[in-house]
Amino acid sequence: MSWWRRLWALIRSRRLDRELDEELGGHIAMRTAANRASGATDDEARRAAERQFGNRTRIKEQTRDRDILPWVESVVQDLRYAARQLRRSPGFAMAAIAAMALGIGANAAVFTLVNAVLLRALPFDQPDRIVSVWMQPPNGARLPFSQEDFEDLRDGSTSFSELVGTLGTSINVADDDSTPERVPGMYASWNLFRLLGVQPVLGRDFREDDDQLGADPVVIISYGLWQSRYGGASDVLGRLVRLNSRQASIVGVMPRRFAFPRNQALWIPRMMLPRDSFLGRRQHNIGVIGRLAPGVELAPARAEVGAVASRLAQEYPDSNRDLAINLLPYQEATTSRQTRLIFLTFLGAVGFVLLVACANVANLLLARSVGRAREIAIRVAQGAGRWRVIRQLLVESVLVASIGGALGLLIAFAGVRWFARASVTVDRPYWEAFTFDPVVFAFVAALCVVTGVVFGLAPALHVSRTDVNSVLKEGGRGGGGVRARRWAGALIVIELVLTLVLLSGAGFMMRSFLGMYQMDLGFEPTNVKVMQLYLPLTKYVLAKPEMVVDIEQRLADRLEAVSGFRASALASSPPTVGTIRGNNSQAPPDTRPVFVDGQEPAPGEQPTFVKTVSAGDEYFDTVGIPILRGRAFERSDGLPGRGAAIVNERFAALHLGGRDPIGHTLVVPGLVEVEDRPETQTVVGAGPLTIVGVVPDVRQGDLDRAEPDPVVYVPMRMDSRPGVIGLLVRAPGAAVSVAARVRQELAILDPDVPVFNAQTMDEVLADERGQYVLFLGMFSVFAGIALFLSAVGLYSVTAYAVKERTQEVGVRMALGAERRQIVWLMLKRGLVQLAIGLPMGIAGALVVGRLLESLLFRTSPRDMVTLVGVTVLLGLVAVLACVRPALRAARLDPTVALRHE
């Protein structure tokens, strides 16, 4: 209670002052009246009264002291004093504030990103209870579930209060009123929104009976789609719309900005997926998320799903053998370890930048404090305690840091906006919005205070120790010269070390990126166009692959005849990309178990899981992959009894012991052999494939791995599935025109098959590499800022030293020193600092390089070229920074210099 009164008193300070005056005055007046009553004159009465009262000012002060929190008022006093001091030295103020703005601004920007990507909770109900569930083959990959497996898990487990199966894919939206469009959508169990805890803002959520076979098809659309396609019309509910040629009615609209999981525009119950298109437990395409039941923790849930996996493996050995089931919290599962590492590295890098900025400002303060020694001495002489002086200096530092921090926020705004725009192509969840929320502001505020104390403490401690007597006597020239110089030197060395580490980091990343760019792709991307086709699931049935094979063959024939198309081929994915099939980012590249030479693995041993690419006959021609040994695919490959495969060199090395693969056989479950005449309707599961060719290593979704992965190519006709398929065409011209031509040909065969996402191969490559460019850019910016700050720091320290030693220079010149010797004298200290700092910096760079190793591509963290390069760069910049003031020293007029104070 008394605490509050004191605080309140601070606010009402003036009024209280007046009241106290009134109270004390009243007392004296009454005493005066009493004295007059005993016979004294007015004057005597008053004077006696005042004497009896005591020292009024002192009494007042003593009383007031108890009214307010004294330290708050004196801090306010300190602030006003600090502001005055700053205004008096604008040069220092600008330099210090600029350094802080850069340092704190960069940190604020990176923290905003880290907050958005790593820290912020997902915008769902109790997000830490949501888990991602997947099937795990022995090689540790994450596979989605099959429909049947999902249903078995759902029905056979109790750990989840909600379990949802999802399939993301692009969906054709058409109705009678507007042009059809293709949007990203998702088939999901009816309880998806219940699991997330998000409700439609219009209409209703799905009901369990929507998600049954034979139910009336319904769809829930996103807010964005509602606005863009239906103009936000209030009667949108109940409207009919054709989704992939199947009619459904709109029953709900989701809230603004909701686009689970990435950028989906509509959601359809899972059972609306054409049921007969998904036979077979080998078809893994259902992503699963669950909400842990109340009271259930991760470990027991994991144990339970593990048990379900074992049961399934026993019941269905053909498809589920060696498939485990695992789960992780959803937020963790959707942030790759690499992303986390990259952002943490950013945080570290930008922290270094801030330290360099702090060292800079500390140096500036040191230089300034030597000049302020007189002022400090006077204050100490007047009775200010040492801690009072230190506190006042710290208030000054925090003020500088805060002003810099406020400016830094502006820099951060700009930086985050730039990053958001530059990373638009990077695949990320819709809820990762790079916005500034209170956490960021709190972080910046804390940073201002902490940095202010950090860079202010050393100079404050140093200056407060000034010997008052000597300073006052000598007319203000503090004798703290030597110690100050040593501090300054140490700070410069620290700056150099940190800058070198940052430069090395940026250098490593640059080399890594160059390595990726220059890497021999293994194919020829020029003139290659990439696009996607969609064979509607309603029309092309999985159980009848011959339908797909038929249209694929006829398309290939037609495209072959187009003049201007040098070659073309369908494929499950183009080179370097993981997979094109489906828009489901959770789906990994087609990875299948492969049995070499018919060998079954021993019990307990793991079968080999290998990436497979299904490719049309002319694939290697189209993409420009040379055949090293053997031959490319032919028309007859893949017909019954003529299963064929082509492997890359890595596969041969890993799984065939380096022997010549030609002639060996592979068994790849899940493929089919389709007769050439679809009318006869013979489809058999594929027998062993004979390896007929060997090709060089081409990356498939593993651009950042050190070694390419083994890949098996199978003829397209053996793996024909409806859904999304890639098409590659080697033809000159724009991607759009090539796509238009393809559309023409395709329209003759089947007008319901759309062609979309046409790009050039170069554009695809650029997308894949896009995020590496981004990260490299950011590191370079940070390293550049640090370099700039270090240069400025060195420059100002040297310039100050020159100013300090002007008299000395004058003396030396008068004694006959040459200009060259003066320059060398001034440079010497800087060079010593370099000599100490650079080796330490290299050591630091090696340590940091080890930490970054997993991010680097084909670059050793001990890469000599990079290290030498950045060391030379820093050395040059540092020397240049020192040279200018040194040269100026040499140009001094000795007569003027001698008289300099």
Partner 1 sequence: MARQTDALLGTLDLLILRTLASRGSLHGYAIAVVIQQASDEALRVEEGSLYPALHRMEKAGWLRASWRTTETKRRARVYALTPKGRRQLDAAEQQWTRVAAGVAKVLKLV
| Beta carbon nearer to partner 1, 28 or 639 | 28
Q: How far is the CB of 66 from partner 1 (least distance, A)?
A: 5
Q: How far is CA 24 from the centre of its chain?
A: 66
**CA 708 to each of CA 140, 684, 858, 863: distance values in angstroms, whole numbers, following the listed order:** 17, 33, 12, 22
Helix and strand numbers, DSSP H then E, in the chain: 27, 23
Q: Does 5 bind partner 1 (CB under 8 A)?
A: yes
| Beta carbon nearer to partner 1, 54 or 317 | 54
* Identified binder of partner 1 from the candidate list 12, 17, 18, 19, rule CB under 8 A: 19
Q: Does 73 bind partner 1 (CB under 8 A)?
A: no
* Identified binder of partner 1 from the candidate list 36, 47, 56, 483, rule CB under 8 A: 56
| Beta carbon nearer to partner 1, 5 or 677 | 5
Q: What is the dihedral of CA 136, 137, 143, 149, to 10 degrees?
A: -80
Q: Does 154 bind partner 1 (CB under 8 A)?
A: no
Q: Does 63 bind partner 1 (CB under 8 A)?
A: yes
| Beta carbon nearer to partner 1, 23 or 634 | 23
Pairing of strands 711-715, 608-615: parallel
- Segment interacting with partner 1 (CB under 8 A) among 57-65, 270-278, 435-443, 711-719: 57-65
* Identified binder of partner 1 from the candidate list 10, 24, 237, 653, rule CB under 8 A: 24
Q: How far is the CB of 57 from partner 1 (least distance, A)?
A: 10
* Identified binder of partner 1 from the candidate list 12, 13, 21, 29, rule CB under 8 A: 29
Q: How far apart are CA 73 and CA 67, in angstroms?
A: 11
Question: Residue count at the site for partner 1 (CB under 8 A)?
Answer: 28
Q: How many CB atoms lie within 10 A of CB 297?
A: 10
Instruction: Name which of 881, 876, 849, 834 is nearest 779 in CA terms.
Output: 849
Q: How far apart are CA 545 and CA 547, in angstroms?
A: 5
Q: How far is the CB of 386 from partner 1 (least distance, A)?
A: 28
Q: Any residues with CB less than 8 A from the CB of 184 and at least 6 apart, and which?
A: 168, 169, 170, 171, 262, 263, 264, 265, 583
* Identified binder of partner 1 from the candidate list 12, 15, 18, 66, rule CB under 8 A: 66
Q: How far is CA 112 from the centre of its chain?
A: 10
* Identified binder of partner 1 from the candidate list 8, 12, 21, 26, rule CB under 8 A: 26
Could you give the count of Cα atoms lying within 13 Å of 297 in the half-sphere of its Cβ?
A: 2
What part of residues 600-659 is at the interface with partner 1 (CB under 8 A)?
Answer: none
* Identified binder of partner 1 from the candidate list 13, 52, 212, 338, rule CB under 8 A: 52
- Segment interacting with partner 1 (CB under 8 A) among 17-25, 234-242, 435-443, 455-463: 17-25
| Beta carbon nearer to partner 1, 53 or 788 | 53
Q: How far is CA 574 from the centre of its chain?
A: 27
- Segment interacting with partner 1 (CB under 8 A) among 65-73, 246-254, 436-444, 722-730: 65-73
Q: How far is the CB of 75 from partner 1 (least distance, A)?
A: 21
User: DSSP 3-state assignment of 171?
Assistant: strand
Q: Does 2 bind partner 1 (CB under 8 A)?
A: yes
Answer whether 440's CB lies under 8 Å from 112's CB.
yes
* Identified binder of partner 1 from the candidate list 10, 48, 59, 422, rule CB under 8 A: 59
Answer whether 372's CB lies under 8 Å from 463's CB.
yes
Q: Does 46 bind partner 1 (CB under 8 A)?
A: no
| Beta carbon nearer to partner 1, 22 or 216 | 22
Answer whether 471's CB lies under 8 Å from 374's CB.
yes
* Identified binder of partner 1 from the candidate list 41, 55, 212, 338, rule CB under 8 A: 55
Q: How far apart are CA 264 and CA 223, in angstroms?
A: 11
Q: How far is the CB of 6 from partner 1 (least distance, A)?
A: 7
3-state helix, strand, coil in the chain (%, to 5): 55, 15, 30
Q: How far is the CB of 33 from partner 1 (least distance, A)?
A: 8
Q: How far apart are CA 742 and CA 746, in angstroms?
A: 6
* Identified binder of partner 1 from the candidate list 10, 36, 67, 585, rule CB under 8 A: 67
| Beta carbon nearer to partner 1, 50 or 375 | 50
**Would you mind telling me the total number of residues written for the chain in this entry?**
901
| Beta carbon nearer to partner 1, 66 or 884 | 66
| Beta carbon nearer to partner 1, 22 or 560 | 22
Q: How far is the CB of 22 from partner 1 (least distance, A)?
A: 6
Structural element, H or E, at residue 693: strand 689-695
- Segment interacting with partner 1 (CB under 8 A) among 15-23, 356-364, 587-595, 802-810: 15-23
Q: Does 62 bind partner 1 (CB under 8 A)?
A: yes
Answer whether 436's CB lies under 8 Å from 113's CB.
no
User: DSSP 3-state assignment of 511?
Assistant: helix
User: DSSP 3-state assignment of 148?
Assistant: helix
Q: How far is the CB of 74 from partner 1 (least distance, A)?
A: 19
Instruction: Name which of 121, 132, 122, 124 is nearest 302 in CA terms.
Output: 132
Q: What is the dihedral of CA 305, 308, 310, 315, to 10 degrees?
A: -160
| Beta carbon nearer to partner 1, 58 or 421 | 58
- Segment interacting with partner 1 (CB under 8 A) among 56-64, 167-175, 521-529, 561-569: 56-64
DSSP state of 607: P
Q: Does 10 bind partner 1 (CB under 8 A)?
A: no
Instruction: Name which of 250, 258, 252 is nearest 198 in CA terms.
Output: 258
Residues that bind partner 1 (CB under 8 A): 1-2, 5-6, 19-20, 22-24, 26-27, 29-31, 33-34, 52-56, 58-59, 62-63, 65-67
